[in-house]
Structure 1
Amino acid sequence: MKLIGSGVILIPYEEIHVEKYHKWMLNKELQELTASEPLSLEKEYAMQKSWRTDDDKCTFLVMDKEKYEKNGNEIESLIGDTNLFIDNESKSAETEIMIAESNARRKKFGWEAMLMMMKFGRNFLNCETFVAKIGFSNVKSQAMFKKMQFKEVSRSDIFQEITYERTCSKDWLEWLDTNVQFSIVEYRKVSFVHM
């Protein structure tokens, strides 16, 4: 499925997107912000398959809606990704958002994509709590999640990160509903053969 918001469109992570995603993840700044290590292109293809098939992961790539409506090109319109790592037992999900394209930052794309992802997680995946783990140096993400009413629950000097949490209370779900709306349409499968 494809989620269409006011400024962004969330689409499934398909093989055709891997090369652009791989290039993003070679960027040292993005590696630091996401606490990631670079992978070979082949490992990135394997990772994409697991993101699409594992029951405990939900991943969407983020597109700039205006750009996509002008050019119709998914690859050129991609600006980042958003993820949920789901713990079905506790009904919680660790959230992540990355706006990889520097020219797409400070435009509220990350804000909208994250709210869409959490609303999707609550409504379709039965998530009751969301958790965000953010590096000490990533003050912009810290500020965003605090604005989303997440509360700090712990700090890890070893991992250099702060853990924030948000329970899906009735008041917060009403806040979420008033702050983000989106429609869901069928996503056309992009055909691609990786050799």
Structure 2
Amino acid sequence: MKINENTLLEGHRVVLVPYNAQHVPRYHEWMKSPELQQLTASEPLTLDQEYNMQQSWREDNDKCTFIILDKQQWADPSVVEEQCMVGDVNIFLTDPTDPSLAELEVMIAEPSYRGKGIGKEVTRMMMFYGVSKLGVKRFQAKIGLDNEVSVSMFKKLRFKEVSVCQVFKEVTLEMAVDEAVRTWLSDDVTLVKEKDYRESCNSRQQLVL
């Protein structure tokens, strides 16, 4: 999505940056994992297909993607950005007749970062961005029935289970964005900073020189 192509969101422990070509090789390595393929309902792609996918997602108006970076590593300019990658987070505008409905998807690809609250922080940041920048009024999360950790996380974030599909073996959870949710999100992400991504990258490089 063009709207976030130069947006960096800095949170407590993570930094969200736009999905660029430089991130593709490591992302491609992640998606060779049968576990991640199953959790994300994804098919394995070739590296060239992954580059094409990245470019497509950058251009599409219905997909907003950020790469999740370890903030502590990112703060060290001697560490290249690809080494800071933890996972990704996406908003998909799945209904052409209702642009205010968004499907939310979070992937913590690096096992060592799971179970530490990173997913919750990223989800809240992305929800705030969706509401404030994209006009989202209702969120959905479609999760595999065997992914109990993700289902539990979304329920803790006030999502409600609305349906279970045994055919696709997934559960759908939803949250309507009312004034209480807006206030909760605003209060919860008061320390999130939105920055110019290119300027931030240049600053890191200058510190190394």
TM-score over 0.5 (shorter chain): yes
1:35 matched to 2:41:
yes
Distance 1:73 1:28 in 2: 27
1:83 matched to 2:87:
no
Aligned pair partner of 1:122 in 111, 117, 131: 131
Q: Which residue of 2 aligns with 1:64?
A: 70
Deviations 1:133-158 (A, max 9, x none): 00000000000000111111111111
Would you say how many aligned residue pairs link Structure 1 and Structure 2? 190
- What's the secondary structure of 1:188's corresponding residue? helix
Report which stretch shifted further, 150-159 or 171-180: 171-180
User: What is the letter of the counterpart of residue 33 of structure 2?
Assistant: N
- What's the secondary structure of 1:83's corresponding residue? strand
- What's the secondary structure of 2:142's corresponding residue? strand
User: Which runs of 5 or more residues in structure 1 are unaligned?
Assistant: 191-195
TM-score (norm 1): 0.94
Distance 1:79 1:171 in 2: 31
Distance 2:134 2:36 in 1: 28
User: What is the letter of the counterpart of residue 106 of structure 2?
Assistant: I
TM-score (norm 2): 0.88
Q: How far apart are residue 88 of structure 1 and its match?
A: 5.5
Counting only pairs closer than 5 Å after superposition, residues 1-195 of structure 1 correspond to structure 2 as 1-70=7-76, 71-86=78-93, 87=95, 89-90=97-98, 91-181=100-190, 182-188=192-198
Runs of 4 or more off by more than 6 Å in structure 1?
Answer: none
Distance 1:58 1:132 in 2: 15
User: Which runs of 5 or more residues in structure 2 are unaligned?
Assistant: 1-6, 202-209
Work out the percentage of aligned pairs sharing the same amino acid. 45
Q: Which residue of 2 aligns with 1:193?
A: none
- What's the secondary structure of 1:6's corresponding residue? coil
The alignment's C-alpha RMSD in Å is 1.3
Distance 2:61 2:32 in 1: 27
- What's the secondary structure of 1:39's corresponding residue? coil
Deviations 1:75-105 (A, max 9, x none): 0100000000014632110000000000111
